[in-house]
Structure 1
Amino acid sequence: MTLKKARKFCLISAVVLLGYFSFLHMKIQESIHKPIADDAGYLIILGARVKGSVPSLSLQYRIDKAAEYLMANTHTVVIVSGGKGPGEDISEAKAMQQGLIEQGIEEGRIIMEDKSTTTYENIVFSKELLPDPTATGVIVSNDYHIYRAVEMAKKEGLDIKGVPAKTPKVALVKSYLREYLAITKYYLKEYIGW
């Protein structure tokens, strides 16, 4: 391949990649601007990193957004979903439970799912604990994550909508780039079978 052809190939590849990432970004933005259902039968909070026993900023934003929804929708039960990973002294579910109780959510409304380690497991394991899997639900995660989480939940037969929490500014670029790759992996698995 000549240098001229190599440059042309690199340029075309860059344009295609940029177009693809723009498409993914558009899908993410569409998902976080959809109307949020009131009085959902259940709410699932997806886990994120805990530093020792303290929620990371990403997880704290999820806890805060869920508490806000639960205070406004007092009949909604909540499933806190996330296991215990490396560097975590307690499970992500336990950290979320404690955070919600601190914000005035009654412990009796909180269902613990503390075995999952991935978004897919969050959804599948949480589904098993739902009081009524046919009810309309909502799922809370950081905004960049809502599109993929809702798509996965719908694939599992859940009638669910997203409630986006903000993403920490310091992690914005890294989070979106990682999510573009995670969505691509999801597409390859679901639609191509890789």
Structure 2
Amino acid sequence: MRKRKSILIWAGVFSLSFLLYFSFLHSKIREHTNTEVPKHADYIIILGARVKGEVPSLALQYRIDAAASYLKKNRESIAIASGGQGPGEDITEAEAIKRGLLAHGISSDRILLEDKSTDTVENIRFSKRLIPQNLKTGLLVTNDFHLYRAKSIAKDLGLNLEGIPAETPTVAIPKSYAREYLAITKYYLVNFF
């Protein structure tokens, strides 16, 4: 009886700790999406996401739309479209972003391509190499669930960037957030332990 009670107590403690930890992660994600987007940034980096053949996934389309909206209001800002080509993708994610921006009426001379990266760290590291030296202020464009980790990675790489949060497709919210909780946990383990 005592052993069973002890197991139940430990199970309760574990469950509560688990719940508190993921509540903390969710609050960090929300904190970084509920900030005012600075105007007149010198550049924005649009992080890639899945492309189906040549068609941006809904998550990527939302990033493109958010970036285009910003670029239309801030006509001096340039864009770095970032993302390589993965399985099932007939074009690079960067090319899909560029095509999407062009369709929104953004001039091609405002778009730089970073088309070699395979993950968020490479997106930011490789994009950093393309930033013209005279440009100082930048923003990251990604879906809201991804912004906290992306900004943290950028800071690790020497870029102090604010963000433009794009919506997350409703159908993708459970999967996207669950994967992001795990990705943030991995980020913490790699960087803090």
TM score, norm. by length of structure 1: 0.96
Counterpart code for 1:102 = A
Give the C-alpha shift of residue 37 in structure 1.
Answer: 1.0
Look up the match of 1:26. 27
**For 1:21 and 1:136, how far apart are their aligned partners in 2?**
32
**For 1:185 and 1:12, how far apart are their aligned partners in 2?**
22
Partner SS, residue 104 of structure 1 = coil
Look up the match of 1:108. 109
Partner SS, residue 117 of structure 1 = coil
**For 2:69 and 2:138, how far apart are their aligned partners in 1?**
15
**For 2:74 and 2:45, how far apart are their aligned partners in 1?**
14
Look up the match of 1:181. 182
**For 1:134 and 1:178, how far apart are their aligned partners in 2?**
33
Give the C-alpha shift of residue 94 in structure 1.
Answer: 0.5
Counterpart code for 1:18 = L
Give the C-alpha shift of residue 6 in structure 1.
Answer: 2.0
Question: 1:53-93: per-residue Cα shift (whole Å, max 9, x none)?
Answer: 00000000000000000000001010000000000000000
**For 1:133 and 1:48, how far apart are their aligned partners in 2?**
28
Whether 2:147 is the aligned partner of 1:146: answer yes
**For 2:178 and 2:136, how far apart are their aligned partners in 1?**
33
Question: 1:147-181: per-residue Cα shift (whole Å, max 9, x none)?
Answer: 00011111111121010000000010111111011
**For 2:134 and 2:63, how far apart are their aligned partners in 1?**
22
Look up the match of 2:74. 73
Question: How many percent of aligned residue pairs carry the same amino acid?
Answer: 54
Look up the match of 1:4. 5
Look up the match of 1:127. 128
Give the C-alpha shift of residue 133 in structure 1.
Answer: 7.4
Partner SS, residue 161 of structure 2 = strand
Residues 135 and 159, structure 1, Cα contact 8 Å, conserved in 2: no
Note the residue ranges of structure 2 that are not aligned, 5 or more in a row. Answer: none
Counterpart code for 2:56 = P
Look up the match of 1:47. 48
**Paired positions, count:** 192
Look up the match of 1:167. 168
Counterpart code for 2:178 = L
Counterpart code for 2:164 = V
**For 1:77 and 1:20, how far apart are their aligned partners in 2?**
38
Partner SS, residue 44 of structure 1 = strand
Counterpart code for 1:110 = I
Counterpart code for 2:42 = G
**For 2:25 and 2:132, how far apart are their aligned partners in 1?**
33
Note the residue ranges of structure 1 that are not aligned, 5 or more in a row. Answer: none
CA RMSD of aligned residues (A): 1.2
Look up the match of 1:90. 91
TM score, norm. by length of structure 2: 0.96
Residues 47 and 141, structure 2, Cα contact 8 Å, conserved in 1: yes
Partner SS, residue 18 of structure 1 = helix
